[in-house]
Chains A and B, each alone.
Chain A
């Protein structure tokens, strides 16, 4: 049983605060500390997380230093050879760029459109409740379902191009077949799926903005733009944090959409992402060594982004 019975005042910090930002209260540390508590509360999670995530990462790192290919034994130690080859492999840079483009475009677009829609729907009434539900529906659908729906809409004989032809457009764009367009089409499909999430989070934040702030601003003669800049926007910061984190989680792991809609095409690697490429070269192409090196690069990238994002957004929240 814990010996300490004194505690710091209630933590009122926002939830995303990184642990380092907490004021150091030594006694608080011991409150739920101790080996016994760790065994009960922390260890089961750590073991499972270690088994499913950390150990496989270790195995990936190990494979990435070999030429492992189950079809071509024996496996040899090749040191950093796989990584050196990646540096000069345009295919690798292409999938890395694609992954970054998807992440950046979807994160920005879904946040921007989501905020715009939230501002539009920030009213009471059945219509706005219904529309909020409409926007949120795609969020709970699987990537496979969303992909099949959009494929039906965007294929050349699909609803969109049939309509465009009906309107007199002779050569409507090849949304999925034009290699310069397909990646952005894919971005749009993922944005469409995530907009609703941003809408709901922004709405919750907007409805938490005290009305008297606006009234006071109105007295001072502030217009709608100024009110948004000085009152709404700063108070939306926590919502932006949540949306960005959720969008990054969703976009980094994009696999279903690519697999179902484009299979990495049209053409060589135009819409392939790191997640898709690792499966293609590792599980299907059997080049486990190479695929593991790609995976490790991605893991480092993801870890760096996760750290930067959690810190940056946190700092922004605190200062605003």
Chain B
């Protein structure tokens, strides 16, 4: 590309654009470590000296809103994404390698569900769950997460499988390996970038999901951290310090998750595309 003699211009513009973009996030970060009364007075100032008061307050709430929410969120997210990855990898593989009419119809039906907003079918979902006694339970929420997000997993895996040479499977099959073993031992490891993308994206989406846990888990079964934030904004909206602290703590796990797997984030989505 054009390596111009204005070598300083690009980093300067990039830094400026990035900083403007980051400003709202800075607002939260700075105020998490600031005493409540300073937030109203000077919301944009640096927290000097920083205080952990807001964080401690959230962690030691008498109703354990954060801790209970954290356990629920981890449980729901972990179970959902592991099941989702396994099922959608198998299904995506099957549909990508199968050209029969049934499989083609199934792929279209699944991809049509890719963009369905959960809000428009949540009411009948509660009816279906209630009839099976799964309403207001973690199991029910996991079932809904899995069923609802399957199209995304299938979409990613089916696309990725097509970039993998079939010869490898042939060779394994000639050795007499069963279909499941061929899949799990030979194919699945090759799908690693796609698995990473699916795990990460669905992990983030399910962790951040608001409507499904709000309605399916119900009040009796505790909340997830994301629903907890929604609850806290009614209660303390004027107290930005503690709302921001709760938001910060609730987002910390996904942020760490993201930083740890940053490299894999879009690889599975894009790997096939750039190869193609």
Contacts and interface: CB of A to CB of B under 8 A. Distances in A.
So, do A and B actually touch in the complex, CB under 8 Å? yes
Contact of A7 (B17, B115, B170): B170
B61 to A, nearest CB: 18
Contacts of B257: 140
Nearest to B272: A15
B48 interface: no
Contacts of A96: none
Interface string A31-42: 111001110111
Contact of A13 (B204, B210, B215, B276): B276
B116 A143 contact: no
21 contacts: A9-B166, A14-B275, A18-B108, A20-B104, A32-B94, A32-B179, A41-B93, A41-B179, A42-B94, A52-B143, A52-B144, A145-B247, A145-B251, A148-B233, A201-B269, A224-B1, A249-B114, A253-B118, A255-B118, A259-B210, A306-B112
Given A32-B98, A42-B91, A239 B166 contact: no
B178 interface: yes
B210 to A, nearest CB: 5
A73 interface: no
B210 A159 contact: no
Interface string B77-96: 00000000001101101111
Given A40-B179, A149-B28, A56 B124 contact: yes
A195 B22 CA distance: 12
Contacts of A241: 273
B97 A31 contact: yes
Interface stretch (A83-91, A171-179, A275-283): A275-283
Contacts of B11: 127
A11 to B, nearest CB: 4
B1 A214 contact: yes
A242 B120 CA distance: 24
Interface residues of B, number: 115
A54 B151 CA distance: 12
A7 B167 CA distance: 8
Q: What is the interface of chain B mostly: helix, strand, loop, or mixed?
A: helix
Given A53-B148, A131-B18, A150-B24, 11 more contacts: A7-B166, A11-B96, A12-B275, A41-B91, A55-B124, A120-B14, A144-B230, A159-B43, A242-B270, A278-B120, A291-B123
Contacts of B123: 60, 278, 282-283, 288, 291-292, 295
Contacts of A274: 117, 120
A137 interface: yes
Contacts of A2: 173, 179
A269 B69 CA distance: 33
B215 to A, nearest CB: 7
4 closest A-B pairs by CB: A15-B159, A52-B147, A14-B276, A142-B208
Contacts of B169: 7
A192 B88 CA distance: 30
A12 B117 CA distance: 32
Query: Max chain A CB contacts within 10 Å: which of B151, B209, B230, B233?
Result: B230
Interface of A: 1-2, 5-20, 22, 24-26, 28-29, 31-33, 36-38, 40-42, 44-46, 48-60, 63, 117, 120-123, 127-128, 130-131, 133-145, 148-150, 152-153, 159, 162, 192, 195, 197, 200-201, 204-205, 208, 214, 224, 227, 238-239, 241-242, 245, 248-249, 252-256, 259-260, 274-276, 278-279, 282-283, 288, 291-292, 294-295, 298-299, 302-303, 305-307, 310, 317
Contact of A56 (B121, B179, B233): B121
Contacts of B50: none
A140 B117 contact: no
B124 A239 contact: no
Nearest to A255: B119
A197 B117 CA distance: 20
B226 interface: yes
Nearest to B203: A140
A229 to B, nearest CB: 14
B226 A255 contact: no
Contacts of A195: 21
B124 A63 contact: yes
A12 B229 contact: no
B138 interface: no
Contact of B113 (A12, A18, A49, A120): A49
Interface in B170-210: 170, 173-174, 178-180, 183, 204, 207-210
Contact of B27 (A13, A137, A152, A305): A152
A101 B146 CA distance: 30
A128 B13 CA distance: 11
A13 B163 CA distance: 7
B46 interface: no
B210 A144 contact: yes
Contact of B115 (A41, A205, A252): A252
B204 A140 contact: yes
